[in-house]
Structure 1
C-alpha cells in the first residue's frame, strides 16, 4: 500500500478546496518572501553606497533629501552652497577629506557629476579600459552607463540640463569625450558619468546668460541645474584645493563667489561627529547631514510599513492553516469508510496518521513553492522598475530566510493536519464498516 499514491489521489479528488488552500498559503509566503528579498537588497545597496562617508554638506533643507541626492543620486539636491564657505570648511582640522560634487546635467538619464579624481576612490573604482580624465570635456563612465548607452572609448556625447532627456536643454556646442570606463563595482559609481569641474563650468558659463527657459519640466530642477553648473567648477576647485595649502592660495577672489552643490566629508577623528555637524548647522548657511543617522531614520520609516505588511502576511498564513485544518477535518467524514477499509486490509493506525499528515504537509509545501514563484515574479517587476527609473539593480533570487521559512511552512502544514490525523488514527473499524 503506497501512501504517496493515496495522498496524490486524495488531493486531486477535491481540486477546488485544494487550490483554495494552496492559494491562501502561497499568498502569505509570497508576501513575506518578497519583503525579505527587497529589504535585504535595499539595505545592502544603502550600506554599499555610503562608502564610509561621514558627513554630507549642502544647502539647507531636508537632510534626507541631501543624502539621497549626494550619495545615492535618486533625488534633486536641496540647492547650492557658496564656494568660499565650503573652502573654509575644508580648512577645519577635523576634516580629513572633502570630495566635491556638482549635480545637474545628465545623459540618457545618467547623471553627469563634476568632481575630482578622489571620488572614484570612495568606491574602489578601477578603470576597466582607458585612462582617467585630465583635460576639459573628458569623461569617465560607469559600467552600467557603458552597457545601457553603448558608449565606448573615444565616443563623444552631449549632456542635457536636468535628468529627463526630452525636457532638458542639450549642450550640443560642447561634447564630452569618453576616455575611460570603470569596472563594475556594484555601487552608485556604475551609473555615473564623471568629469572635471572646469568642463561643466565652461558649459554653464556659456549657457548661463542665454538660457532663461524653465522648461526642464520643473522650475526647481532648472534652478538647481543652473547653480549646479557653476557648482561643477567650484567643486573641482574645492576638491583640488583641499589637497594642499598652496592650492588654496591660488584661488582668486572671483572664484570664491562661485557655488557648488555639496561636499562629501570624512572626519579626521571621532570628535568630528560631535563637533562638525553642530558647527556647520549653527554657524553657517549650509546644512550638515549624517548618512548613518538619516539612513537609520529611513530604516525606521520603512520598518513600520514592512512590519505591518509582515503581520498581514502572517495572518493570511494562519487563516490558510485553519483552512487546511477544516478541510482535512471535514474530509474525514467522507473518507471514514475508505480509512476503515485501509485498516481492514492491513493498514496500521500509524499508516492512517501518516496519510493525513502527509496531505497537510503536501499542501503546505506546494503553497510554499507557489509563494516563492510569486515572490520572484514580484522581485522581477520591482527590479525592472528600479532599473528603469533609478538605474539601481535590485535583482536577488535567493535569501537564507527562504530556507528557514521552508521548515516553518512544513511545520504549519504538520500542525494543521495533526488533529485530523489523530482522529483518523482512532477510526473504529467495526463500527464504521457495520454502517
Structure 2
C-alpha cells in the first residue's frame, strides 16, 4: 500500500516528478559516461603499450610518434633508414626490434608492413587462413575483415597515403591470406603485411628509383624492447642527442595524454555532481510543497489510525523512487552515449569503446543516488511529526 500511494502521488505531480528525474538522469548519465569512457580508453591505451619500452622514428613530436606507431591514430613523423634502426637494435641492451612501415590504406584501414614478431607481441590468433609469406599477401584484423567484407582469397587495390580517397595503386593488388580473431587491441583495425610488400608497392608507383641492390630501405618507425631497465634509463636520451632518430617512451606520452584528459574529466564530473545536488534540492522542494498541499490529507490519515512513522516512510519512498528512476534512466543514457561515441571513434579513428557492463564505480553511484533521494526526502518528511491533527482538520473544515 505504501508503494502504491507513493507512486500515485508521483504520478499526480507529473511535472515536478519529471523535473526531479530529469536532473538526476543528467547527473548520473554524465558521471556514468565519463566513468565508462575513461576506463575503456585507459584499458585500451594500456593494453596497446604493454610490453613496448621504446618507439624509434623520425624527429618530430614524440606524442605524434607514439599515436601513429602504436595506436595508428595519427600521421607518422616521417621515414627513417632501416640500417639506422638496425644499428640501435644491435645494442646488447636491446632484446627485440619490430620494424613498422606504413603509407597506404584500404577504405581508411591502415596497411602496416611488419614481421612475425608483431603478431607474437600482440598474441594474435587466426580465425581463418594463414600468415603471409610472399609479397602482397595480407592478414586482416577482425574488425577490418568485418567492416570491409573481405574474405580469405579476395584481392584489393590500396590507396596511397592514410586517406581513403587517396590515389589507388591499381597496378598491383593485395591478396587476403588470413583473418585474425578479435584481439581487443589496435591489431583488430589493421591490415598487416610484410615490409617487402610496402616497398614493392611504392617502388612500382614511384619513378626514378634505384635498383633494389643499391637502395637504402626505409621504414616508418620501430618498436624496441629492452633486456633490462638499464636500457630504458640510458638509450632514449642517447638516441635523441646523438642520432638523426627520435626515441619516444610510450608510458610517458600516454601519461601526459591522461593528465590532460583528467583535467577535463574531473571538471565534467564536478559539473555532474552539482546537477545531482540540484536534483536532490528539487526532490526536497517537490516533497516539501507536496506536504504543505496534503497536510489535511495527512492529518485525516493520522486520525484514522495511520502512524506518523508510516507516513514518514511513504514520503521517504517517494524520494527513493524518484532517485531510482533517475539512476536507471541515467545508466541507459550513458550506454546510448557510449554507443554513439564508439560509432564516431570507429568511423574517424577505427578505435572502438564498446563495453557496456556495469562498472564498480556505478555501484557506488547507485548508493550515492539513493542517499541523495533519502536525504532530500527526509528533511520535508520530518514535518509529519509536527502536524497538529485537530488544528489542521479544524482549519480545513
TM-score, L = length of structure 1: 0.88
SS in 2 for 1:195: strand
Asked if the contact 2:55–2:248 (Cα under 8 Å) also holds between the matched residues in 1, the reply is yes
The answer to whether residue 259 in structure 2 is matched with residue 261 in structure 1 is no
Specify every segment of 5 or more residues in structure 1 that has no aligned partner in the other structure, as ranges: 212-229, 231-250
Given the alignment, which residue of 355, 358, 366 partners 1:406?
366
**Cα RMSD for the two superposed structures:** 1.6
Structure-2 change in CA distance of 1:293 and 1:348 (3 Å) = same
The answer to whether residue 174 in structure 2 is matched with residue 176 in structure 1 is yes
SS in 2 for 1:114: strand
Match of 1:225 in 2: none
Asked if the contact 2:101–2:219 (Cα under 8 Å) also holds between the matched residues in 1, the reply is yes
Match of 2:102 in 1: 103
The answer to whether residue 25 in structure 2 is matched with residue 23 in structure 1 is no
Structure-2 change in CA distance of 1:425 and 1:341 (3 Å) = same
Deviation at 1:400, TM superposition (A): 2.2
Tell me how far apart the structure 2 counterparts of residues 419 and 155 of structure 1 sit (CA, whole Å).
Answer: 69
Deviation at 1:425, TM superposition (A): 2.7
Tell me how far apart the structure 2 counterparts of residues 210 and 342 of structure 1 sit (CA, whole Å).
Answer: 97
Asked if the contact 2:127–2:181 (Cα under 8 Å) also holds between the matched residues in 1, the reply is yes
Tell me how far apart the structure 1 counterparts of residues 134 and 379 of structure 2 sit (CA, whole Å).
Answer: 78
Given the alignment, which residue of 360, 365, 381 partners 2:324?
365
The answer to whether residue 24 in structure 2 is matched with residue 64 in structure 1 is no
Asked if the contact 1:51–1:123 (Cα under 8 Å) also holds between the matched residues in 2, the reply is no
Tell me how far apart the structure 1 counterparts of residues 185 and 317 of structure 2 sit (CA, whole Å).
Answer: 47
Number of residue-to-residue matches in the alignment: 393
Deviation at 1:163, TM superposition (A): 2.4
Given the alignment, which residue of 263, 270, 286 partners 2:229?
270
Q: 1:44-94 CA distances to partner (integer Å, 9 max, x unpaired)?
A: 111111131110001111111111100110101111112221121111111
Specify every segment of 5 or more residues in structure 2 that has no aligned partner in the other structure, as ranges: none
Tell me how far apart the structure 2 counterparts of residues 258 and 150 of structure 1 sit (CA, whole Å).
Answer: 33
Match of 2:190 in 1: 192
Deviation at 1:164, TM superposition (A): 2.3
The answer to whether residue 46 in structure 2 is matched with residue 86 in structure 1 is no
Match of 2:203 in 1: 205
Asked if the contact 2:143–2:188 (Cα under 8 Å) also holds between the matched residues in 1, the reply is yes
Q: 1:81-133 CA distances to partner (integer Å, 9 max, x unpaired)?
A: 12221121111111110000001101111111111111111110122222211
Tell me how far apart the structure 2 counterparts of residues 304 and 45 of structure 1 sit (CA, whole Å).
Answer: 20
Deviation at 1:259, TM superposition (A): 2.1
Match of 1:220 in 2: none
